[in-house]
Chain A
Amino acid sequence: MKVLGLDTQNLSALLKVVILGLIAAVALASRLFSIIRFESVIHEFDPWFNYRTTRFLVANGFYEFWNWFDERSWYPLGRVVGGTVYPGLMVTSATIYNILRTLNFTVDIRNICVLLAPLFSAFTSVAAYLLTSEIKDSSAGLLAAAFIGVAPGYISRSVAGSYDNEGIAIFLLLFTFYLWIKALKEGSAYWGALTALFYFYMVAAWGGYVFIINLIPLHAFTLILMGRFSSRLYVAYSSFYILGTLMSMQIPFVGFQPTRTSEHMAALGIFGLIQIIAFVEFARSYISSNQAQILFKSFVVLSFVGMLSGLVLLTLGGYIAPWTGRFYSLWDTGYAKKFIPIIASVSEHQPTAWPSFFFDLEMLIFLFPAGIYLCFKELRDDHVFLILYGITASYFAGVMVRLMLALTPVVCVTSAIAISRLFDIYLKLDDTDKDNTSAKNNKPAIEKSNTSAKSNKSAIEKSSRKGDASRSTSSSTSKSSEKKKKSEQFRILGFDTRILVITNFFFFLVIFTWHCTWVTSNAYSSPSIVLASRQADGSQYIIDDFREAYYWLRKNTDYSSKVMSWWDYGYQIAGMADRAVLVDNNTWNNTHIATVGKAMSSSEDVAYQIMRRHDVDYVLIIFGGLLGYSGDDINKFLWMIRIAEGVYPNEVREVNFFTPRGEYRVDDEATPTMRNSIMYKMSYYNYNELFGGQGQDRVRGARIPADKIKLDTLEEAYTTENWIVRIYKVKNLDNIGRSLEQAGAFELGKKKRKRVKRAN
């Protein structure tokens, strides 16, 4: 049979390519909402740092980038950017930029950065296709590609403009897993080396590479425990581990961590174990007495126990660093809140309630367990991998909202396997006629025979290591099991039932795409530096206060001015205003952040001293009271206090900011400490005048105390249109040596009071 001059096989290959291309196009297109609604702009916080470094890389070249010491952040400490950054993202976009340049496409680097994540999502869907077709067949692969292309769990981190490590890392994660499965199946060092190569790219791109370097050893270990050790596993794992570790150590930020930290020890331990087992297997093929077998087994177990205790001893002795706080808090979930408030304060590190799972995955969330069950039904080596990936990732996603990103790929793959399995059964029309099953001219049959051939092959390979004696028996059992399978063949007898199930699931899939599009458009496409609201007549109203304020800073302040703000806004100030900041989103120095927190939560005279010591010229705060923007600094204030209290427990006390009844208030009942803190003063300074009476805070639903707020050491420099950003200038010391409080009183026309004098 020929269509368009192609036989069926070629036609189906062509169709696959076309479908996959369309899926990639959809994956890219559905991430463009934010560009269409707003403009091509970098989003949120971290992307601004990545964008800034990418610009630096493009302007100054790789060598300069590697040695870059940034003295304009973490003032006065500075930051070694080259050594504390995962450079994969920046290098990727710089490479694309340079390639386009050589081809004479003069594209702005910003547009490349904005569109990088959508581009890599298109690649991700291809990687999902490859992985799933390796595990089941190409129809499941296409479904998986479609799922991951539109699943909101992944879109949340990869819309246009969200120029962050995760944008490319998920592609690398999936592709590395695909290569690992391939390497394990083929047992070839070539695929193992490729796995290592993409693992290296992943290490260069995202700190989440730790997931790979623990999941693959876990897979290997589980296979060993299941008695499935094979030369294929040995070759794949050894080549991956050696090359991958050596390459990963080339990233300065990683350095010698693979040999010195607990996160990497599982991989090292499995590497050692696998060598011992390989040796034992080798020796076993020459000695076959029963006693020797027991000896070998106990040797393996003993060496495993020995390695484990050696690891524990080394950790206790301090030669191997224990788990870092960020990873440790995944196990001991109460740890971060107690000891590292700065990690606990980030909203994306909160645990996940069930609505988030449904919001991000919709129907896939219940197809996922069904798919895992399906994996258990077949349970080849690659299914074991999917199961382990599913369990670990669902745990991590439960602990941290952010890690939903790592769960989404496996959910897509397993759900695609489940759905395509269902479609295989209910769409196979010739199933009623048993003779036709062997006919090669329909697609599912081809796939089926392919998979059965594969499983046959693996059975033979498995048996080959057992020696010739067991070979014949094992292959005969596999044949008999195949026969049994044929007699149990699945078939659907009624036509109406097929129609029912197929339409039902078709409908489900349609709802799924509606859901994904709705979520993408409504929840994940806001750049968060530009806000949008609807006016009474339904027209869109753009709130652009952030950029207004940063642009004001850029144009009206000295290039060497230092801006103090809470760390959330550090990257944005550095990126958009191009001014030095005290703290930023890198959060590497807790004490420095606590100092800023202390300044914000102290009274004017204490804060003034801190600010003078740190050469602060401007203070920038976010205030949402007028507009009802809830992510403002007064709401983040408690974290500032908490972090400051962790370092300065005697000077900042959280209790002092709560009313005796334990409430956090800003109105008349606010505590004196609260009302004297410069954060409170700066937020509500002159706010009452705007209302001509008592001001109304729309976020906290409170009336602001009527008495006028007096600021002596700070003066209002700029307040944006909707009052979201307020910038204050730190006053210089008084010309004639008075304290600023006295000077302020003098300006107001008050006489010097005796009490003030005595205080001096």
Chain B
Amino acid sequence: MATRQAIVSLFIFLVFNIFLLAVCHAAKPSLETKVSALNQFSTNNNGVVELDSDLYDEFVAKPRNYSMIILLTAMEPQINCLPCKEFDPEFRLVAKSWQWSGNDLSRLYFGSLDFKKGREVYAKLHLNNAPTMFYFSPTTGPYAKEVSEPDKYEFNRRGFSAEEFASYLSGHVGIKVPVKRPINFFAIFTTIFIILGTLAVIKLIFSFIKKVFQNRNTWAAISLVIILMMISGHMWNHIRSPPYVMSNNGQISYIASGFSNQLGMESQIVAMMYAICASSMCYLMFHVPKIEDSTKQRFGIYLWTGILVGTFSFIFALFRIKNPGYPFRLFI
């Protein structure tokens, strides 16, 4: 009986010991288990380790003999984080390319933590915007770096493209991180089809196209449209990409304040005004003088002069909004 009791107590002791061991493992897993877990996670999921708060703490904890880039994102539809959605495929593309690059995969891991699963991390890091991305450099092993702070990826400066992200990683890890965009066969076929279709259409209506192509009015229209776009600040819009209109407490404003600032709609309004002025000039020069009937001609001249003066004074008014110190005006 005594022996049996001893056996039971030994068994309990053993179980307890194993349990203790397991607890210890859970609290502080060894580097090898971490790496093997990472390897498993990443190979199963095209190179991206989907994290939650616990996993985040585990993989980020020192020591690390690997680099880790962690994207803190928010893909839930109710949060409606457009940049997150924009960057996510690019991030996964780089991760996948890394998987197939033939490099030593244990050098770098890609982690992604969604807001849904990692509120604690967001709270701990005092993050209130997504996406945010941190690079953790290895602390032990041959590639260890002395830097202890994780490096934050600057989305504002570098943007969302996979190429830029990969070059950032290459700089930090020290090996070239490739980007292999998958070949989009569908897009290629559609392009070929469209080109062939267009060529066929061109062949069919060649005489008509030739007529249009050689018509000076076509070219006049193209040139005038280009010029009107340019002189009304299209290139500014193209480079600075301002909002089309601005809504301020429910009120939509079409005009931006400030001399060297404009909205997308605003430049279109201005282009339209210029076009009206220029065409009323042209009507006064070409159309009206050809009218044989004197009453009709008189009416035409008064009409176009009126339109010209009205539009021009509107341009003046618009300009006075942009430049309040401007002293001149025309009627309004």
Chain A residues with CB under 8 Å of chain B are 333-334, 350-359, 363, 365-370, 372-374, 376-377, 379, 387, 390-391, 394-395, 397-399, 418, 421-422, 425, 488, 490-494, 496-497, 500-501, 504, 508, 511, 514-515, 518, 654-655, 662
B323, A355: Cβ atoms closer than 8 Å: yes
B297's partner among A357, A369, A494, A518 (CB-CB below 8 A) is A494
A655 to B240, CA, bound (A): 21
Q: B88-125 CB contact bits vs A (8 Å, 1 = yes)?
A: 00000000000000000000000000000000000000
Given A379-B216, A398-B230, A497-B301, also A504-B239 (CB < 8 A): no
Output the least CB separation between B299 and chain A (Å).
9
B315, A373: Cβ atoms closer than 8 Å: no
Output the least CB separation between B279 and chain A (Å).
8
Q: B298-332 CB contact bits vs A (8 Å, 1 = yes)?
A: 10011001001100100100010011000110100
A355, B259: Cβ atoms closer than 8 Å: yes
Q: 4 nearest interchain CB pairs? A: A398-B235, A490-B289, A366-B277, A354-B233
Query: Residue B234 at the A interface, CB < 8 A?
Result: yes
A12 to B288, CA, bound (A): 30
Q: A355-B323, A368-B278, A497-B298 are in contact. List 11 more A-B contacts (CB 8 A).
A: A333-B239, A353-B236, A357-B232, A365-B231, A367-B281, A369-B275, A374-B285, A394-B231, A395-B226, A496-B298, A655-B154
B278, A369: Cβ atoms closer than 8 Å: yes
A372, B230: Cβ atoms closer than 8 Å: no
A sample of 12 inter-chain contacts (CB < 8 A) reads A351-B236, A353-B259, A354-B267, A356-B260, A357-B233, A370-B282, A373-B224, A394-B227, A398-B233, A425-B289, A497-B297, A514-B328
A422's partner among B232, B274, B281 (CB-CB below 8 A) is B281
Output the least CB separation between A112 and chain B (Å).
35
In the complex, the chain B residue whose C-beta lies closest to that of A355 is: B322
A355 to B319, CA, bound (A): 7
A267 to B133, CA, bound (A): 50
In the complex, the chain B residue whose C-beta lies closest to that of A399 is: B235
B236, A398: Cβ atoms closer than 8 Å: yes
Query: Residue B223 at the A interface, CB < 8 A?
Result: yes
A593 to B135, CA, bound (A): 30
In the complex, the chain A residue whose C-beta lies closest to that of B126 is: A660
Query: Residue B152 at the A interface, CB < 8 A?
Result: yes
Q: Which residues of B contact A496 (CB under 8 A)?
A: 298
A363, B227: Cβ atoms closer than 8 Å: no
Q: B238-261 CB contact bits vs A (8 Å, 1 = yes)?
A: 111000000000000000000111
B319, A369: Cβ atoms closer than 8 Å: no
B-side binding surface: helix, strand, loop or mixed?
helix
Q: Which residues of B contact A662 (CB under 8 A)?
A: 156
Q: Which residues of A contact B233 (CB under 8 A)?
A: 351-354, 357, 398
A353, B281: Cβ atoms closer than 8 Å: no
A365 to B315, CA, bound (A): 11
B312's partner among A350, A354, A374, A508 (CB-CB below 8 A) is A508
A494, B260: Cβ atoms closer than 8 Å: no
Output the least CB separation between A488 and chain B (Å).
6
Q: Which residues of A contact B294 (CB under 8 A)?
A: 493-494
Output the least CB separation between B325 and chain A (Å).
8
A606 to B202, CA, bound (A): 67
Query: Residue B290 at the A interface, CB < 8 A?
Result: yes
B216, A394: Cβ atoms closer than 8 Å: no
Interface residues in B110-158 by Cβ distance below 8 A to A read 152, 154, 156-157
A356 to B288, CA, bound (A): 33
A370 to B223, CA, bound (A): 12
B227, A391: Cβ atoms closer than 8 Å: yes
Q: Which residues of B contact A418 (CB under 8 A)?
A: 281, 285
A142 to B139, CA, bound (A): 78
Query: Residue B228 at the A interface, CB < 8 A?
Result: yes
A359 to B322, CA, bound (A): 11
A387 to B286, CA, bound (A): 19
A387's partner among B154, B157, B223, B298 (CB-CB below 8 A) is B223
Given A359-B323, A379-B216, also A353-B230 (CB < 8 A): no
Output the least CB separation between B108 and chain A (Å).
20
Query: Residue B266 at the A interface, CB < 8 A?
Result: yes
Given A496-B298, A501-B301, also A391-B226 (CB < 8 A): yes
A333's partner among B156, B238, B277, B301 (CB-CB below 8 A) is B238
Query: Residue B73 at the A interface, CB < 8 A?
Result: no
Q: B267-278 CB contact bits vs A (8 Å, 1 = yes)?
A: 100100111011
B305, A501: Cβ atoms closer than 8 Å: yes
A497 to B302, CA, bound (A): 7
A422 to B275, CA, bound (A): 17
Query: Residue B177 at the A interface, CB < 8 A?
Result: no
Q: Which residues of B contact A353 (CB under 8 A)?
A: 233, 236, 259-262, 267
A372, B302: Cβ atoms closer than 8 Å: no
A334, B239: Cβ atoms closer than 8 Å: yes
Output the least CB separation between A380 and chain B (Å).
12
B235, A351: Cβ atoms closer than 8 Å: yes
Q: Which residues of B contact A422 (CB under 8 A)?
A: 281, 284-285
Looking at B233, B286, B294, B309, the one whose CB has the most chain A CB atoms below 10 A away is B233
Output the least CB separation between B172 and chain A (Å).
11
Given A497-B302, A504-B309, also A358-B281 (CB < 8 A): no
A456 to B232, CA, bound (A): 38
Query: Residue B19 at the A interface, CB < 8 A?
Result: no
B226, A394: Cβ atoms closer than 8 Å: yes
A399 to B233, CA, bound (A): 9
Query: Residue B220 at the A interface, CB < 8 A?
Result: yes
Query: Residue B219 at the A interface, CB < 8 A?
Result: yes
A379 to B217, CA, bound (A): 11
B236, A511: Cβ atoms closer than 8 Å: no
In the complex, the chain B residue whose C-beta lies closest to that of A655 is: B154
A287 to B238, CA, bound (A): 52
A376, B219: Cβ atoms closer than 8 Å: yes
B328, A518: Cβ atoms closer than 8 Å: yes
B260, A372: Cβ atoms closer than 8 Å: no
A370 to B278, CA, bound (A): 5
Output the least CB separation between B214 and chain A (Å).
9
A515 to B274, CA, bound (A): 18
Given A358-B315, A373-B224, A515-B328, also A366-B281 (CB < 8 A): yes
Output the least CB separation between B232 and chain A (Å).
5
Q: Which residues of B contact A493 (CB under 8 A)?
A: 294, 297-298
Output the least CB separation between B237 and chain A (Å).
9
Q: Which residues of B contact A351 (CB under 8 A)?
A: 233, 235-236, 238-240
Looking at A365, A366, A491, the one whose CB has the most chain B CB atoms below 10 A away is A366
B231's partner among A357, A363, A500, A654 (CB-CB below 8 A) is A357
Output the least CB separation between B129 and chain A (Å).
9
In the complex, the chain A residue whose C-beta lies closest to that of B276 is: A366
A395's partner among B230, B322, B323 (CB-CB below 8 A) is B230
A391 to B294, CA, bound (A): 38
Output the least CB separation between B239 and chain A (Å).
5
A372's partner among B224, B273, B277, B301 (CB-CB below 8 A) is B224
A176 to B285, CA, bound (A): 31
A16 to B323, CA, bound (A): 38
A366, B301: Cβ atoms closer than 8 Å: no
B226, A492: Cβ atoms closer than 8 Å: no
Output the least CB separation between A642 and chain B (Å).
9
B231, A518: Cβ atoms closer than 8 Å: no
Output the least CB separation between A602 and chain B (Å).
19
In the complex, the chain A residue whose C-beta lies closest to that of B322 is: A355
Q: Which residues of A contact B231 (CB under 8 A)?
A: 354, 357, 365, 368-369, 394, 397-398
Q: Which residues of A contact B309 (CB under 8 A)?
A: 504
B227, A355: Cβ atoms closer than 8 Å: no
A369, B224: Cβ atoms closer than 8 Å: yes
Output the least CB separation between B318 and chain A (Å).
9
Output the least CB separation between B102 and chain A (Å).
28
Q: Which residues of B contact A518 (CB under 8 A)?
A: 327-328
Output the least CB separation between A549 and chain B (Å).
29
A715 to B201, CA, bound (A): 78
Q: Which residues of A contact B288 (CB under 8 A)?
A: 492
Q: Which residues of A contact B297 (CB under 8 A)?
A: 492-494, 497
